Amino acid sequence: MRPMSGDHVTEAVAGCLAVLRKAIDRDWRSVRAGRVEWDCHTTAVHVADDLVAYAANLAGHAQDAYVPFALKPDEGTDNAGLLQVVEATGALLAAAVATAPPGVRAFHPYPFRSADHVGFAAMGVAEVLLHTHDMAEGLGLPYEPSAELADSVLATIFPHVRPGPEPWSTLLWATGRGELHGRAPVTEWRWHNNLVLPTERLVLTGVRPAAARDLVLDGDGGFDWIEGGPEQGTRDAARMLLTAYEAGVHRPEFTTFALVRAEDGRAVGALGFHGTPDEDGRVEIGYNVCAAARGRGYATEALRALARWALARDDVRTVHARAQAANTASQAVLTRAGFDPVGAIDDRLVAYELRS
């Protein structure tokens, strides 16, 4: 699966235009757009407004709020003109995504108040796919985007949604637009961008299911790795994440994080949770650093930051970690990060814990 990109935005917009041009002579103001409360004209304006707003936030590196403007078509703009606006704003977002500097993030409220270029691409594609569905439904037109587009959206910004038999029907169900066998109807929903946690020298960057899938398939997950990376431990962690996602038990905040150096944007290792907190508020954490980056304190710095973040939550009271009994370097990392030894697990492993 390719990481979400400007090409995906372009593909989604092209599909939207192809469908809606079939009804260009209809009165869109008199037709409700599927299950939403807007007519088709208002919905098309909304799509264009979202596309240009995402482009502006990403290109302008907005940090605290949306760039303060709104799109308003000229008075009397007909359907053909409106589709031209959608096409142009889609091109603006595609260009903003394609030219965004590596690692740049900009404001979006859900749920961690920022998104990277991959997130903005996925949100733009989601807006286009879902609202094209709404308008096509209202106008009585058949519409179904490619399975890859729908799957990419799900695995990028719906990490909490268990994949269904078909990506498009799953995305419609996840956004309250359809039914899925064996699952209750969805009445409220939000997408989820990935969490990032900056430290002094690193940016702990949450790995999405889409990136985890690529890592499992021997890809780079969309990260620029230093020599020797990613190591097998990172791929194993990605496999655990992907298994949880496919089972529908993955929570996007309790994920694997790539350790990205702030100075050059290169990934030097990974750190993450082995699952969600249990009923006693205990969560397990693991980590690895590429051989070329060891001995510089990256693991300790990252471990301190992620453990501090976890223990600040109401649902975490203990962070648990394991180290091989023969690996004194790993045990030293845990000790420097504030963890206390709590005994041997077996003849190979020792346990450490940090409590709130």
Tell which of 143, 174, 205 closes a domain. Answer: 174
Half-sphere exposure (Cβ direction) of 85: Cα atoms closer than 13 Å:
21
Would the pLDDT of 26 be above 90?
Answer: yes
Do residues 238 and 244 lie in contact, with contact meaning Cβ atoms separated by under 8 Å?
no
Q: If you average pLDDT over residues 210-239, what whole number do you get?
A: 96
Tell which of 125, 144, 174 closes a domain. Answer: 174
Residues 6+ apart with CB under 8 A from 14: none
Do residues 216 and 166 lie in contact, with contact meaning Cβ atoms separated by under 8 Å?
no
Would the pLDDT of 161 be above 90?
Answer: yes
Summarised one tens digit per residue, pLDDT across range 43-83 is: 999 999 999 999 999 999 999 999 999 999 999 999 999 99
Task: Let me know whether 93 and 240 are in one domain.
Answer: no
How many CB atoms are closer than 10 A to CB 115? 25
Summarised one tens digit per residue, pLDDT across range 274-293 is: 999 999 999 999 999 999 99
Task: Let me know whether 348 and 210 are in one domain.
Answer: yes
Q: What is the pLDDT of residue 233?
A: 94
Q: If you average pLDDT over residues 7-30, what whole number do you get?
A: 98
- For residue 181, being part of any structural domain is answered with no
Task: Let me know whether 125 and 200 are in one domain.
Answer: no
Tell which of 108, 139, 174 closes a domain. Answer: 174
The Cα–Cα gap between 56 and 96 comes to 8
Share of the chain above pLDDT 70, in %: 100
Task: Let me know whether 124 and 231 are in one domain.
Answer: no
Task: Let me know whether 336 and 203 are in one domain.
Answer: yes
Share of the chain above pLDDT 90, in %: 97
Token output for 241: 């994440």
Residues 6+ apart with CB under 8 A from 182: none
Task: Let me know whether 348 and 211 are in one domain.
Answer: yes
- For residue 16, being part of any structural domain is answered with yes
Token output for 74: 């000229």
Q: How confident is the model at residue 340 (pLDDT cuts 50, 70, 90)?
A: very high
- For residue 179, being part of any structural domain is answered with no
The Cα–Cα gap between 130 and 71 comes to 20
Task: Let me know whether 85 and 40 are in one domain.
Answer: yes
Do residues 135 and 146 lie in contact, with contact meaning Cβ atoms separated by under 8 Å?
no
Q: What is the pLDDT of residue 356?
A: 86
Q: What is the pLDDT of residue 300?
A: 97
Would the pLDDT of 1 be above 70?
Answer: no
Task: Let me know whether 104 and 59 are in one domain.
Answer: yes
Q: What is the pLDDT of residue 133?
A: 98
The Cα–Cα gap between 345 and 351 comes to 6
Closest alpha carbon to 285 in 193, 198, 204: 204
Task: Let me know whether 71 and 205 are in one domain.
Answer: no
Task: Let me know whether 13 and 73 are in one domain.
Answer: yes
- For residue 189, being part of any structural domain is answered with no
- For residue 183, being part of any structural domain is answered with no
- For residue 347, being part of any structural domain is answered with yes
Q: Which residues pair with 115 in a beta bridge?
A: 106
Closest alpha carbon to 251 in 204, 305, 194, 186: 194
Closest alpha carbon to 102 in 244, 242, 264: 264
Q: Which residues pair with 39 in a beta bridge?
A: 32
Count the domains in the chain: 2
DSSP for 242-307 reads HHHHHHT---TTSSEEEEEETTT-EEEEEEEESS---TTSEEEEEEEE-GGGTTSSHHHHHHHHHH
- For residue 190, being part of any structural domain is answered with no
Q: Which residues pair with 266 in a beta bridge?
A: 224
- For residue 180, being part of any structural domain is answered with no
Do residues 70 and 46 lie in contact, with contact meaning Cβ atoms separated by under 8 Å?
no
Do residues 171 and 154 lie in contact, with contact meaning Cβ atoms separated by under 8 Å?
yes
Amino acid 162 reads R
Q: What is the pLDDT of residue 157?
A: 98
Token output for 304: 């301190």
The Cα–Cα gap between 154 and 164 comes to 10
Task: Let me know whether 170 and 23 are in one domain.
Answer: yes
Q: What is the CATH number of the domain that holds 214?
A: 3.40.630.30
Calculate the average pLDDT of the chain.
96
Exposure letters 51-60 (e unless 16+ CB within 10 A, then b): bbbbbbbbbe
Q: What is the pLDDT of residue 236?
A: 96
Residues 6+ apart with CB under 8 A from 307: 285, 319, 337, 338, 339, 354
Residues 6+ apart with CB under 8 A from 108: 54, 57, 114, 115, 119, 120, 123, 193
Structural domain including 164 reads 6-174
Q: If you average pLDDT over residues 218-240, what whole number do you get?
A: 96
Q: What is the CATH number of the domain that holds 50?
A: 1.20.120
Task: Let me know whether 224 and 152 are in one domain.
Answer: no
Q: How confident is the model at residue 2 (pLDDT cuts 50, 70, 90)?
A: confident
How many CB atoms are closer than 10 A to CB 209? 26
Q: Which residues pair with 350 in a beta bridge?
A: 323, 344
